[in-house]
Amino acid sequence: MKIQQVEAIEVAAPSDELSSPWSSTVILVRVTTSSGAVGWGEAPTTLMTHPVRASVPEVGRFYEGRELHDHARALREFERYSFYRSRSMEATSALSAVDIACHDLLGHELGVPVSALLGGAIRERARAYSNGWYADCIEASEFAEKASAMVRSGFGALKFDPFGSEYRTLSDDGLDRAVARVRAVREAVGPGIDLLIEFHGRFYPEAAVRAGRALDEFGPRFMEEPVLPELCDALAEFRRKVRTPVALGERLLTAADFESFLARGLVDILQPDITNSGGFTYGREIAGVATARGAPVAYHNAFGPVQTAASLQIDAVLPTFFLQESFEASWPEWKRSLVTGYSIERGEFPIPTGPGLGIHVDEAAVERFRSDAMDTVGPEPPWVIAGTWVRRASTAPGAKRERTRRR
């Protein structure tokens, strides 16, 4: 059975549906074999939609025409040819999506879940934390109200960014507002709920340390990407001065990156993203690094349902699994319609045991939402949960949002 076609498909929110920028586009990769079998992968977006989509054919030509069971040789050949691969998220994202799709195909051919190809599952469920739940929250009371609703729905862990529009530096007023938001959430949900503080890699070291020390009192389980990624060496100072563990990894691309951060004492909890760090093939290497160092792993998972399904398969085999990120409770309806086969129940994912990724991709929905649109920009960056920097004019269901979908 040969790999016949590697195809990148962009899908996007319909023009009449209000959607946060982080959930407005998804890149799916469909790999088709000579027998007509189809496997699915996914790549990240976040102002990279078109560059990543354009990188898929670059990767695909190393796979097309090869036997499916020879897919690892294609990956290693691309690795040899791609001079900037270790620092190009576009290259590694495209490679990740194709690798995920090949594993999906192999699982279907053999009638086993991908976890079996990775050595076998050691857990049946993955504890999740909710993200994206605080859209349109600016006042502390709004954060508290929505956090309480998430806890009532069954989540025992919540991640959120309390810093509003503060960027690089942190004003005294901005710090006071962040503290008020975190305090309100902690008081609303009580001491038994894990709070995870998202910094989004936005601060200079001094501002990050001030924020970290001010928020320590609320007992977060981790603080994510507290400093600008280009200043990552400052994380050593942050870890000395702030009690809360540091989590990061969504911008790291190779197992060597993760080993370097652990060896230099820059991180406590690893957050690889299976859609940009080499799919399952490199994922096994990253898992080996984490296991050797005893580092907890909480896979980053901020894009679409194929990414979630792939993340769950590797969660199943991780000896140091910690938590699984989930945006599902806050997704727009169009994104929910793309895939069936997994669910989240009272804050946990039952890990699918069907063949491959254990999911069904609705190709009719994929075609319905197919798009050539670029990521939206303004008035907030695409990595922001909508309505947390600037109050949106309308957040009512069905509110229209200016967006042009092109075929």
- Interval 79-113: pLDDT, tens: 999 999 999 999 999 999 999 999 999 999 999 99
Positive/negative CA dihedral, 40, 43, 45, 46: positive
Query: Is 200 tagged catalytic?
Result: yes
Task: Flag whether 247 is in a domain.
Answer: yes
User: What phi and psi, each to the nearest 5 degrees, are found at residue 345?
Assistant: -130, 115
Q: What string of DSSP letters covers 134-158?
A: TTT--SHHHHHHHHHHHHHTT-SEE
Angle, CA of 314, 316 and 320, to the nearest 5°: 85
pLDDT interval class at 401 (50, 70, 90): very low
Q: Are 79 and 85 in contact (CB under 8 A)?
A: yes
Please tell me the distance from the alpha carbon of residue 341 to that of residue 351, in angstroms, as a whole number: 10
pLDDT category, 399, cuts 50, 70, 90? Answer: very low
Cα separation, 102 vs 78, whole angstroms: 15
Q: What values do phi and psi take at 339, rounded to 5?
A: -140, 145
Q: What does the pLDDT look like over 288-315, one tens digit per residue?
A: 999 999 999 999 999 999 999 999 999 9
Catalytic residue among 69, 71, 300, 360: 300
pLDDT, mean of residues 64-74: 98
Whole-number Å distance between alpha carbons of 18 and 15: 8
Domain that holds residue 342: 116-355
Indicate the pLDDT class of residue 188, thresholds 50, 70 and 90. very high
The answer to whether the CB of 89 falls within 8 A of the CB of 253 is yes
Backbone phi and psi for residue 151, each to the nearest 5 degrees, phi listed first: -65, -40
- Yes or no: say if 255 and 227 are a contact pair by the CB < 8 Å rule: no
- Cα 160 from Cα 381, distance rounded (Å): 16
Instruction: Give percent of the chain with pLDDT exceeding 70.
Output: 95
Is the CB of residue 107 less than 8 Å from the CB of residue 71?
no
CA distance 41 to 399: 31
pLDDT-based confidence at 168, cuts 50/70/90?
very high
User: 9 or 401, which is more confident?
Assistant: 9
pLDDT at 404 over 50: no
Determine, yes or no, domain membership for 328: yes
Q: Is the pLDDT of residue 252 over 80?
A: yes
Q: Which helix (DSSP H) or strand (DSSP E) does residue 95 occupy?
A: helix 89-110
Domain membership of residue 311 (yes or no) is: yes
| 177 part of a folded domain | yes
Q: Is residue 304 in some structural domain?
A: yes
257-264: average pLDDT: 98
How do residues 318-370 score in pLDDT, each as one tens digit?
999 999 999 999 998 999 999 999 999 999 999 999 999 999 999 999 999 99
Q: What are the tens digits of pLDDT across the range 14-49? A: 877 766 666 789 999 999 999 999 999 999 998 899
Q: Which of 299, 296, 263 is nearest to 280 (CA)?
A: 299
Does residue 66 lie within any of the structural domains? no
Q: Which two tokens stand for residue 11?
A: 């899908």
Range with lowest mean pLDDT among 40-49, 143-152, 248-257, 396-405 = 396-405
Handedness of CA 37, 41, 45, 50 (dihedral sign): negative
CA 126/CA 104 separation, integer angstroms:
20
Q: Is residue 379 part of a domain?
A: no
> In the numeric block, which tokens belong to residue 268?
């406590």
- The angle, 0 to 180 degrees and rounded to 10, between the axes of the packed helices 305-315 and 279-293 is 40
Query: What mean pLDDT is predicted for residues 402-406?
Result: 38
Spell out the residues 6+ positions from residue 36 whose beta carbon is closer than 8 angstroms to its own. none
Q: Is 300 a catalytic residue?
A: yes
CATH number of the domain at 237, please. Answer: 3.20.20.120
Any idea what the Cα angle at residue 333 is, between residues 328 and 337, rounded to 5°? 85
Under the banding of pLDDT at 50, 70 and 90, the label for residue 405 is very low
Question: What total of structural domains would you count in the chain?
Answer: 1
Query: Is residue 234 situated within a structural domain?
Result: yes
| pLDDT score, position 373 | 87
